[in-house]
Amino acid sequence: MDITSLQNARVKEWTQLLEKKHRDRSEKFVVEGVHLVQEAFQSEADIECVAYDMDKGIPAELKHLRLNDAQWIGVSEAIIAKCTDTVTPQPVFAIVRKRSVDLAQLLSIQNSLVMVLDGVQDPGNVGTIIRSADAAGAHGVILGHGCVDLYNPKTIRSTMGSFFHLPVVEGDLLDILPQAKQSGARLVSTSLQADYTCYEYPFSGSTWLLVGNEAKGVSERVQQLVDDTLIIPMRGQAESLNVGMASSVLIFEAMRQRHYAK
């Protein structure tokens, strides 16, 4: 099946998915590029269709996936440009149905390691944190209200596929975090008036690491739920680390203690 008209109903539907309100209503989102489409297939995501540049054909890396149930549609270069978010679009994108993530399952994990984001608004930071959480073997990521939309194309791209590897839950932290505490998790955030450095804090047991908005930090109501506060010591002259970098330092120190401490 090929589509060449920008006025085609499917094309109009795909284009609308660049806006959050349409992603929310349809429960679908766009995944751009060969690598992320591969990751979607390998993670058994619910893929509705794959659109590829009809002049270039299906990318070689994806040809073996044609046996999958997803519909494969050849489209014009103009359609790809209209339906994707990048300045120089790759020759393929997929429409993926959102998956439901079971918070109860995350709460039931013994000795869980979870990243919690409160109002982090930069897609690159959110993507970096999800990627670092995946790399460090965390059990999940929680996005509270005020965070950038998880399904924003920039967020998806910046996860480099890690979005498909671990549970990412969106919800109200004032509802989720008390449940986490009830299940035995300790809530830990960064603070300049910290109780511990991140290198002396014991990351054993269920630990949920909380980071806040780029400018304002963790909101006051959420901070009131925190059990312990940490600081990342710095020997140089940099004033601070951005939230993506700070989260990576914390999550990898937790991994080191759990898996590589002598």
Which of 178, 188, 208, 201 has its CA nearest to residue 109?
208
Tokens coding 207: 């630990």
Which of 182, 124, 178 has its CA nearest to residue 156?
124
Report percent pLDDT > 70 for the chain: 99
Alpha carbons 40 and 47: distance in angstroms, whole number: 8
Would you say 84 and 93 are in contact if contact means Cβ atoms under 8 Å apart?
yes
In which band, very low, low, confident or very high, does the pLDDT at 251 lie, cut at 50, 70 and 90?
very high
pLDDT, mean of residues 28-53: 95
Average pLDDT over the chain reads 94
pLDDT beyond 90 at 214? no
Alpha carbons 225 and 177: distance in angstroms, whole number: 7
pLDDT, mean of residues 165-191: 96
| Predicted local distance difference test score (pLDDT) of residue 191 | 87
Alpha carbons 181 and 258: distance in angstroms, whole number: 20
DSSP letter, residue 40? H
104 burial (CB, 10 Å; 0-12 / 13-18 / 19+) is exposed
pLDDT, mean of residues 212-229: 93
Q: What is the pLDDT of residues 228-245, one digit of tens each?
A: 999 999 999 998 899 999
pLDDT beyond 80 at 68? no
Buried-state track 56-80, b at ≥16 Cβ within 10 A, e below 16:
eebbeebeebeeeebebbbbbeebb
Alpha carbons 146 and 119: distance in angstroms, whole number: 4
How many CB atoms within 10 Å of residue 45?
Answer: 19
Q: Is 262 helix (H, G, I), strand (E, B) or coil?
A: coil
Would you say 108 and 134 are in contact if contact means Cβ atoms under 8 Å apart?
no
Q: Is 220 helix (H, G, I), strand (E, B) or coil?
A: helix
Q: What is the pLDDT of residues 75-104, one digit of tens each?
A: 999 999 999 988 888 999 999 999 988 899
Which of 87, 113, 105, 86 has its CA nearest to residue 31?
86
Buried-state track 151-184, b at ≥16 Cβ within 10 A, e below 16:
bbbebbbbbbbbbbbbbbbbeebeebbeebbebe
What does residue 56 show for φ and ψ, rounded to 5 degrees?
A: -95, -20
In which band, very low, low, confident or very high, does the pLDDT at 64 lie, cut at 50, 70 and 90?
confident
User: What domains lie within the chain, and their CATH numbers?
Assistant: 2-97 (3.30.1330.30), 103-259 (3.40.1280.10)
Helix and strand numbers, DSSP H then E, in the chain: 10, 12
**What dihedral do alpha carbons 150, 23, 41, 56 form, nearest 10°?**
-110
Q: What is the pLDDT of residues 141-168, one digit of tens each?
A: 999 999 999 999 999 999 999 999 999 9
| Predicted local distance difference test score (pLDDT) of residue 67 | 62
- Pairing verdict, β 196-197 and 228-231: parallel
What does residue 10 show for φ and ψ, rounded to 5 degrees?
A: -65, -40
pLDDT, mean of residues 37-58: 95
